Amino acid sequence: MQALRCGTVRKAVLRSEIIDDPVKFDALTPHWWKLWEQSSSATPFQSPAWLVPWWRAFAPGELATVAVWRGGDLVGLAPLYLEHGTAGSKLLPVGISLSDYLDILAVRDIEAAVVSTIAETICSVGWSQWILSDLPQNSAGLTIAHPGLTVERPVIHAACPVLAVAGDETLAGCVPARRRRQLRRARQAASRRGRLALASARGDQNFLNQLIRLHHARWVGHGGGVLADPTVQQFHGLSLPLLDAHGLVRCWLLAIDGTTVAAYYGFHHRGRAYAYLGGLDPAYAEESPGAILIGHAIAESIREDAREFDFLRGQEAYKYGWGAVDRWTMRRIWTRS
């Protein structure tokens, strides 16, 4: 472990290390959870329940994660890896592609010192370009600066439509009247088709099997969707139970006359609900089972005192029908000075 002599009393108590061993990466988990709870920009996508399984499933390069310690406490973490290519090595965030939000984790009261330590430490790693994408606009990652680094201006990366939730489970306080009328008609149509049953599901393999089946049914003929990849299935099989064990998962199944026709996979954390993934049986498309589940998820988020319902990355038209408004993530690139 490398002690950093940074010239000030505040920074001198911090020490950092580069973690390039998957076993040591896994061993961070209990410390990581404590840090995650203290980081102002943390989402489920920065938790060890998400990123450790991501690395186990994909491992697309060489780990180069920076851990910052104060005594025995983990106070900062930059989960990174090196991707080697003919044009040089890129430093990328663990979780890239499947994660809608990414960032550095840092304890709030010493965030600036932690970010400075991470930047100084990562300069000891051999890379030509450091890319951080999917950064929330309040992210610690956007504040990274170091004399040895040249940084490009941050650019917008992706839209995550967000609905400000209010009112009660009727959705009258936040969802446009037109969408609420459509939702009522969908429920009536589904009830005419058969007995309607909405059930909360555990985040386990049984739910995941249903989600994979219905997601594939929705996207068959269009590439099969993200869950067509066996490695993505493996990742969710590892991650979902861990997230569920920490109370972060919100899973629902919709059945009509005993047949499961739609699945919803989302999260809830710090007053924000996240709609991550879904699937539906196209044979029931006229009953709009996906819309019924989203309406239910929004109502449940209100019951849990959420302030926002985040539809996550992508500008699909249906999200705006619910009243969501774009919130942009950012991307920033550093090179050697």
What is the pLDDT confidence band of residue 8, given thresholds at 50, 70 and 90? very low
Which CATH class name applies to 162-310?
alpha beta
In which residue ranges of the chain is CATH 3.40.630.30 found? 2-159+329-336, 162-310
Measured between alpha carbons, how far is residue 229 from residues 57, 67, 89, 215, 315 in Å? 11, 31, 26, 12, 23
DSSP state of 49: H
DSSP character string of 153-179: PPEEEEE--EEE--S-TT-TTTS-HHH
Q: How confident is the model at residue 25 (pLDDT cuts 50, 70, 90)?
A: very high
| pLDDT on residue 157 | 95
How far, in Å, CA of 175 to CA of 218, rounded? 25
pLDDT at site 256: 96
Mean pLDDT of 20-45: 97
- Residues 210, 255: Cα–Cα separation, whole Å: 11
% of the chain with per-residue pLDDT over 90: 91
Q: What is the model's pLDDT at position 174?
A: 97
Residue 151, C-beta contacts closer than 8 angstroms, at least 6 positions apart: 144, 145, 332, 333, 334
Rounded mean pLDDT, 179-185: 97
**pLDDT above 70: residue 263:** yes
What is d(CA 229, CA 279) in angstroms, rounded to the nearest whole number?
Answer: 15
User: DSSP characters for 244-272?
Assistant: HHTT-EEEEEEEETTEEEEEEEEEEETTE
> CA-CA distances (angstroms) from residue 11 to 48, 118, 254?
26, 11, 53
Both tokens assigned to 80: 């990174």
Residue pair 133/171 in contact (Cβ under 8 Å)? The answer is: no
What's the residue count for the chain? 337
Relative to beta strand 65-70, strand 62-63 is unpaired
At 277 the pLDDT is 97
Mean pLDDT value of segment 207-217:
96
Task: Provide the CB-side half-sphere exposure for 280 (13 A, CA).
Answer: 15
Predicted confidence band of residue 223 (pLDDT cuts 50, 70, 90): confident
Tens of pLDDT along 106-150? 999 999 999 999 999 999 999 999 999 999 988 999 999 999 999
Where does the pLDDT of residue 87 fall: very low under 50, low under 70, confident under 90, or very high at 90 and above?
confident
The pair of structure tokens assigned to 149 is 């680094």
Confidence of residue 181 (pLDDT cuts 50, 70, 90): very high
Q: Are 40 and 108 in contact (CB under 8 A)?
A: yes
- CA 110 to each of CA 148, 225, 270, 323: distance values in angstroms, whole numbers, following the listed order: 22, 41, 21, 37
Higher-confidence residue of 331 and 86: namely 331
pLDDT at 86: 84
pLDDT of 9 strictly over 80: no
Rounded Cα gap, residues 60 and 37, in angstroms: 28
Q: How confident is the model at residue 222 (pLDDT cuts 50, 70, 90)?
A: confident
Assign residue 68 a region: left if phi > 0, alpha if psi is -120 to 50, beta otherwise? beta
CATH number of the domain at 2-159+329-336, please?
A: 3.40.630.30
